[in-house]
């Protein structure tokens, strides 16, 4: 423990709490909800730290590695908490435009802050952050006012809770080895080994601080000979985040701060060595509490590509979309008869075979817990549309396309032209059987529409006529078989009367204007039948609202010229984020309950795109940002 000059007792507390949301004031609770977690990232791995000061999810050295702390999925699967020994209230916020979290604990006799960060390589800045990282989790306790007794409990459980490690004291702290993982813990206070792990109780007064660091030791590497100064490295990590954010200030539309926060989340979900973006930082947080719809989202879906591209284009700068498309070049493999998968591992891996972790109880008893995702085996016809739409969006930034890129895009267009009449699993990845999903046909139309427009860049004039003919046939099929007179709407499956929120994509991708009579009827039907509490469900009977679909509704309303209603809907949907501005995949209408993996890229993509669309549609005398 070190003692410094620190801020004056009262002024220091005021300076810190002035940046914190009063909505985050809570009492200690026994069960931590999804919304009560903050997201930490070094753009290679991530952690979730609770409002109660407990790190309950941490996978390293990659997003998709087995967890070291996994208590969010099972009470006995590892955690690291630092928090007051007695009763407290907590109040937290990210520090500026960063993913470094500061949590202030208020007790009867004092106030203490806890700052948590995943460390960047010292000195890395701008687009270089996350390319090389030391894999260190930093934690710093600072006394703000009075004094307080604090508890530290460090209980890692490697391989999703299967492995209890061995501990060895060192000159600097502790060396921890469990299975394939080796860690070094440096604790800034005296600590001891107990039956559960490493524990400490320490008293901290105003102006004092205690630093903690947890470093991953790569296999076959000796201990680091560099001491880590948590105070300096936290400040350097904050500066690194700010240097990235300062390069991404181009968006000047409505909801500017929400867009900037969502862009930061997308950056945090980006695996910087390859440029791929994972769907979420977690696995198996349930779509329904206690249910079986629990999936591993720590992979990169091509299905989401065009929406990711547009969001990054709006919320960031061209560097990120260019790198993401380069990753598609690397992993696409559209050569010969090799299939383009719907999803890949963050390093470009193809085999994502799914298995169940039977030993884990699951979040709030939601079993099974899955790692891997067998959706990689599915046929989803929308993939060519997503990739070609992204290429069309980025056509100016891509410059002269490489021969491989041209071949990839031409091959995808040919596959859309030859395969659009087939059944598939659809964008919601149905696991029962394949169907003629409208959204799949729609994205085949997008693939051919964009390919025709890119024909000169692709050196594909000879193919363009055939693409145009197939594109027009798809359009006729969707208009004739996708419309249901009974439902008075475009539906989810050709020839069906059942609504599906994916029909909202039609005006967003430019298939039909939102002002078209049938499209307006579809928007109204989806809102009336699938809407509740400001949220939109994907289909009838689904209990919870899907955040992305809810933002699609905002875009459709804006495109239809209903700007005031779109803005009202935007505010309703955005209220389902937590007080840090983070979204999960789904939410329970009318409550604050978050469901699904967290934080969810799809949801933050939806926010950025909806904010942009509303900003375009806003009349001159519209509401100020």
Residue 91 to residue 576: CA distance in whole angstroms: 19
Is 622 domain-assigned? no
Domain membership of residue 217 (yes or no) is yes
Residue numbers of the domain that contains 133: 2-245
CA 93 – CA 21 distance, rounded (Å) = 7
Same domain, 159 and 252: no
Strand-pair partners of 59: 46, 67
Q: Which of 245, 264, 299 is the last residue of a domain?
A: 245
Note the pLDDT of residue 170: 92
Rounded to whole angstroms, the maximal C-alpha distance in the chain is: 79
- Cβ contact 138:234 at 8 Å: yes
Using CB atoms within 10 Å of the CB of residue 382, give its burial: 0 to 12 exposed, 13 to 18 middle, 19+ buried. buried
In a domain, 303, yes or no: yes
Q: What is the structure's pLDDT at 395? A: 81
- The answer for residues whose C-beta is within 8 angstroms of residue 236's C-beta and 6 or more apart is 120, 122, 123
Same domain, 346 and 433: yes
Residue 501 tokens read as 């929120």
pLDDT tens-digit series, residues 487-529: 999 999 999 999 999 999 999 999 999 999 999 999 999 999 9
- Indicate whether 444 and 485 sit together in one domain: yes
Q: Per the domain annotation, does 333 fall within a domain?
A: yes
Total count of domains within the chain: 2
Tell me how far apart the alpha carbons of residues 478 and 494 are, in angstroms, rounded to a whole number: 7
Both 112 and 62 in one domain: the answer is yes
In a domain, residue 423? The reply is: yes
432-444 residue pLDDT tens: 999 999 999 999 9
The answer to whether residues 240 and 262 belong to one domain is: no
Question: The domain that contains 177 carries what CATH number?
Answer: 2.70.98
Boundary (domain end) residue, out of 245, 278, 305: 245
Average pLDDT over residues 341-361: 94
| Residue burial 360-375, b: 16+ Cβ < 10 Å; e: rest | bebbbebbebbbbbeb
> Contact at 8 Å (CB) between 198 and 154?
yes
Residue 318 and residue 414 share a domain: yes
Q: Binning pLDDT at 50, 70 and 90, where does residue 30 land?
A: low
Q: Regarding predicted confidence, which is higher, 450 or 391?
A: 450
What span, in angstroms and rounded, lies between the C-alpha atoms of 512 and 516?
Answer: 7
Residues 161, 65 within the same domain: yes
Domain boundary among 228, 245, 262: 245
- Quick one: which of 86, 55, 58 has its CA closest to 151? 86
Please indicate, yes or no, whether residues 191 and 338 belong to a single structural domain of this protein.
Answer: no
**Residue 367 predicted with pLDDT over 90:** yes
Exposure class string for 138-173: b at 16+ Cβ within 10 A, else e: bbbbbbbbbebebebbbbbbbbbbebbbebeeeeeb
In a domain, 624, yes or no: no
Distance CA 99, CA 114 (A): 14
Residues 443 and 478 in one domain: yes
Whether 212 and 281 share a structural domain: no
Count Cα neighbours of 3 within 13 Å in the Cβ-side half-sphere.
Answer: 5
| DSSP structure string for 282-320 | -B---SSTTSS---B--SEEGGGHHHHHHHHHHHS-THH
User: Does 273 map to a domain?
Assistant: yes
Tell me what the mean pLDDT of segment 149-176 comes to: 96
Looking at the fold, whether 225 and 308 belong to one and the same domain comes out as no
Give me the phi and psi of 38, to 5 degrees please: -105, 155
Cβ atoms of 101 and 92 within 8 Å: the answer is yes
Query: Residue 604 is part of a domain; what is its CATH number?
Result: 1.50.10.10
pLDDT at site 196: 81
Look at residue 16 and tell me whether its pLDDT is greater than 80.
no
Query: Does residue 625 lie within any of the structural domains?
Result: no
- pLDDT tens across 572-609, in order? 999 999 999 999 999 999 898 999 999 999 999 999 99
Q: Where are the beta strands (DSSP E) in 173-306?
A: 174-178, 181-187, 192-193, 198-205, 208-216, 270-271, 276-277, 300-301
Q: What is the pLDDT of residues 327-350, one digit of tens each?
A: 777 776 555 556 678 899 999 999
Based on the fold, state whether residues 454 and 578 are members of the same structural domain: yes
Strand (E) positions, 419-480? none
Query: What is the pLDDT at residue 315?
Result: 67
């Amino acid at each position: 423990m070190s003692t410094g000059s620190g801020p004056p007792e009262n002024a220091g507390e005021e300076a810190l709490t002035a940046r914190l949301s009063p909505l985050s004031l809570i009492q200690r609770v026994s069960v931590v909800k999804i919304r009560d977690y903050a997201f930490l990232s070094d753009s290679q791995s991530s952690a979730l730290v609770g409002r109660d000061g407990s790190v309950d999810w941490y996978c390293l050295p990659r997003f998709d590695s087995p967890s070291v702390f996994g208590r969010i999925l099972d009470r006995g699967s590892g955690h690291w908490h630092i928090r007051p020994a007695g009763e407290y209230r907590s109040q937290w916020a990210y520090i500026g435009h960063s993913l470094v979290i500061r949590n202030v604990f208020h007790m009867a006799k004092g106030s203490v802050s806890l700052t948590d960060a995943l460390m960047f390589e010292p000195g890395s800045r701008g687009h270089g952050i996350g390319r090389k990282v030391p894999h260190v989790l930093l934690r710093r306790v600072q006394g703000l006012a009075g004094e307080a007794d604090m508890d530290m409990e460090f209980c890692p459980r490697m391989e999703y809770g299967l492995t209890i490690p061995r501990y060895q004291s060192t000159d600097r702290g502790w060396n921890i080895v469990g299975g394939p993982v080796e860690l070094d813990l440096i604790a800034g206070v005296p600590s001891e080994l107990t039956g559960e792990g490493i524990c400490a109780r320490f008293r901290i007064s105003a102006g004092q601080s205690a630093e903690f660091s947890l470093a991953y030791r790569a296999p076959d590497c000796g201990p680091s000979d560099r001491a880590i100064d948590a105070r300096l490295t936290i400040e350097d990590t904050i500066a690194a985040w700010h240097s990235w954010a300062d390069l991404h200030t181009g968006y000047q539309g409505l909801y500017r701060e929400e867009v900037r926060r969502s862009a930061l989340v997308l950056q945090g979900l980006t695996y910087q060595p390859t440029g791929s973006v994972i769907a979420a930082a977690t696995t198996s947080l349930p779509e329904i509490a206690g249910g079986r719809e629990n999936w591993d989202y720590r992979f990169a879906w091509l299905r989401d590509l065009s929406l990711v591209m547009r969001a990054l284009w709006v919320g960031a700068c061209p560097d990120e979309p260019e790198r993401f498309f380069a990753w598609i070049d690397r992993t696409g493999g559209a050569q010969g008869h090799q299939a383009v998968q719907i999803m890949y591992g963050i390093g470009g891996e193809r085999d994502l075979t799914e298995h169940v972790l039977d030993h884990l109880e699951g979040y709030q008893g939601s079993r099974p817990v899955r790692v891997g995702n067998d959706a990689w085996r599915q046929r989803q016809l929308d993939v060519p549309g997503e990739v070609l739409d992204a290429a069309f969006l980025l056509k100016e930034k891509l410059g002269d396309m490489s021969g491989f890129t041209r071949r990839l895009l031409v091959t995808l267009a040919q596959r859309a032209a030859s395969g659009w009449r087939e059944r598939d699993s659809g964008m919601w990845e149905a696991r029962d059987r394949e169907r003629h999903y409208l959204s799949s046909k729609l994205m085949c139309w997008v693939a051919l529409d964009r390919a025709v427009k890119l024909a000169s860049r692709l050196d594909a004039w000879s193919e363009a006529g055939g693409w145009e003919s197939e594109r027009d046939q798809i359009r006729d099929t969707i208009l004739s078989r996708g419309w249901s007179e009974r439902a008075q709407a475009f539906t989810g499956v050709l020839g069906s009367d059942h609504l599906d929120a994916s029909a909202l994509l039609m005006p967003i991708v430019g298939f039909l204007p939102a002002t078209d009579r049938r499209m307006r009827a579809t928007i109204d039907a989806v809102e009336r039948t699938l809407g509740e509490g400001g949220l939109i469900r994907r289909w009838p009977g689904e209990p919870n609202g899907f955040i992305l679909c809810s933002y699609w509704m905002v875009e459709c309303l804006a495109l239809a010229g209903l700007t005031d209603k779109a803005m009202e809907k935007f505010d309703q949907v955005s209220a389902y984020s937590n007080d840090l501005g983070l979204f999960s995949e789904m939410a329970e209408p009318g409550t604050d309950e978050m469901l699904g993996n967290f934080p969810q890229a799809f949801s933050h993509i939806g926010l950025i795109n909806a904010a942009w669309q509303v900003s375009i549609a806003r009349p001159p005398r519209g509401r100020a940002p």
